[in-house]
Amino acid sequence: MKAQDCLNILREIRDVAFATVDEKGKPQVRIIDIMLVEEGKLFFCTARGKNFYRELTESGETAVTGMNKSYQMVRLSGKVSRVKEQREKIDRIFEENPAMKDVYPGDSRYILEAFCIEDGELEFFDLGRSPIFRESFVLGKQGRITKGYRITDQCTGCGVCQNICPQQCIRKGTPCEIAQEHCLHCGLCYENCPVRAVERREL
């Protein structure tokens, strides 16, 4: 599994959700088509008259997610940039996505502008497995943010966390250890550790 595989899953799902932050600082979300995945980048487009366009260009940030029929979910968050060769890219998008001609016939397609995400963080989840499986990737240059929980050397090895974990993903030891790839980040171990040896990894 690589970052590219995550982008390919999003392209196969095609109708994915894009979140933005509007000018009032509120969350917005829309179903938007992934139009192309090439050169390690994800391409989509929107019309200049839409609020989505405004939010993308003003904030420069978006977050994308989709889940396929096998309950594999991908999340991507990162920076958005306008493509330089607009007309060429829009034409290429219409070639690869012929149904677009029904929505934007003829030259009306050029009200659309193409955007890409080339730097960001990717998360992959397989919710069809038990325990769940998760993995994260870097797209482009952006650094990875570490999420979830870890067990520090304060751990006395009492095993409370291991017994309470809904995904049974804690290995007993001193210290106990969380199998990060199966962790839900639910926080039960964090709340219940009698010596407060569990801490957030993202600080």
Q: For binding to a copy of itself (CB under 8 A), which residues are involved?
A: 15-21, 25-31, 47-51, 53, 59, 61-67, 73, 75, 77, 102-105, 108, 111-112, 130, 132, 147, 149, 164-167, 184-188, 190-191, 202
| 144's tokens | 């990875």
Name the residue nearer to a copy of itself (CB basis): 137 or 149. 149
In eight-state DSSP terms, residue 110 is G
Whose tokens are 């325990």? That residue is 131
The alpha carbon of 61 is separated from its chain's Cα centroid by a whole number of angstroms, namely 12
Query: Nearer Cβ to a copy of itself, position 39 or 63?
Result: 63
Rounded to a whole number of angstroms, the minimum distance from the CB of residue 109 to a copy of itself is 8
Element (H, E) at 115: strand 112-126
Q: Which is nearer to a copy of itself, 38 or 149 (CB)?
A: 149
Quick one: 1 or 103, whose CB is closer to a copy of itself?
A: 103
Q: Can you tell me the distance from the alpha carbon of 52 to that of 30, in angstroms, rounded to the nearest whole number? A: 8
Residues with Cβ < 8 Å from 48, sequence gap 6 or more? Answer: 111, 112, 113
Minimum distance between the CB of residue 11 and a copy of itself, rounded to whole angstroms?
A: 16
